[in-house]
Amino acid sequence: MEEVLGIDIGGSGIKGTIVNTNTGKFLAERHRIETPQPATPEAISKTVHKIVKYFSWSGKIGCGFPAVVQNGVVKTASNIDSSCIGINANKLFGKATKCKVKVFNDADAAGFAELKLGGRRNIKGSVLFLTIGTGIGSAMFYKGKLIPNTEFGHIYMNNGLIAEKYCSDAIRKKEDLNWDQWGMRFNEYLEYLDKLFYPELIILGGGTSKKIEKFKDQLKIKTPVESARLLNQAGIIGAALLAK
């Protein structure tokens, strides 16, 4: 059994625990700390260090991060401070924790866990994974292989709006949309992605995926849409698996 500390860095919270990378099982209760505001590189690294210290950890660490991440370098910043752009998060967090750290896009990590351990190994074509929360994250897979850093939450739709500014959960709350109203918007978004990529399956993750019963009647898209089976554990599990 190999153990890795998985950490999921989000816009509102930073969560982590020790993961059995063979089974995806948590080996301790998840520990959560509020994401510092502003979410600067230094503030985030200090919070990551607190989680490592909480578990008295000294082994490998995998982090999901809410940005495009190429070889550990942060390329975008939508729900974190813009000063994060250009930092080498692998090195920054490694220095803060004195551990070997690998950082990945958060939706890529969650989607990777879902495909590996969510009972979906037999899908031969393309799968689109979306996380719905403060923003919209995405991960694309073809024949089980990850195509990293897709960021489909930032595409412009036919109405001229960026997708996550039109149908994220944050927008639902901000505009006080009921679930039917929001579900119609989200269906527009799914249909738009469906015409671009023709996936065999769309999987919904993030906190909103647990409430699919509230809006599923508005999903008219023909492509199958399912909730993530690993729910909010997926980001931590996937970060640990990728770091392994």
What structural domains and CATH numbers belong to the chain?
3-108+234-243 (3.30.420.40), 122-227 (3.30.420.40)
- Using a cut of 0.85, tell me whether the model's pTM lies above it: yes
Average per-residue pLDDT for the chain: 95
Comparing 241 with 11, the larger pLDDT belongs to 241
- Condensed to tens digits (0 to 9), the pLDDT of residues 196-238 reads 999 999 999 988 888 999 999 999 999 999 999 998 899 999 9
* Residue % of the chain over a pLDDT of 90: 88
Give all strands (DSSP E) within the chain, no chain letters. Answer: 3-9, 13-20, 31-34, 61-65, 69-70, 73-74, 101-105, 126-132, 136-142, 145-147, 201-205, 225-227
Of 107, 85, 84, 72, the residue nearest 243 (C-alpha): 72
93 contacts 231 by C-beta, under 8 angstroms:
no
Confidence of residue 121 (pLDDT cuts 50, 70, 90): low
Of 128, 193, 121, the residue nearest 155 (C-alpha): 193
The burial class, CB within 10 Å (0-12 / 13-18 / 19+), for 191 is middle
* Residue % of the chain over a pLDDT of 70: 100
* Distance from C-alpha of 210 to C-alpha of 205, rounded to nearest angstrom: 8
146: number of Cβ within 10 Å: 20
- Condensed to tens digits (0 to 9), the pLDDT of residues 130-140 reads 999 888 999 99
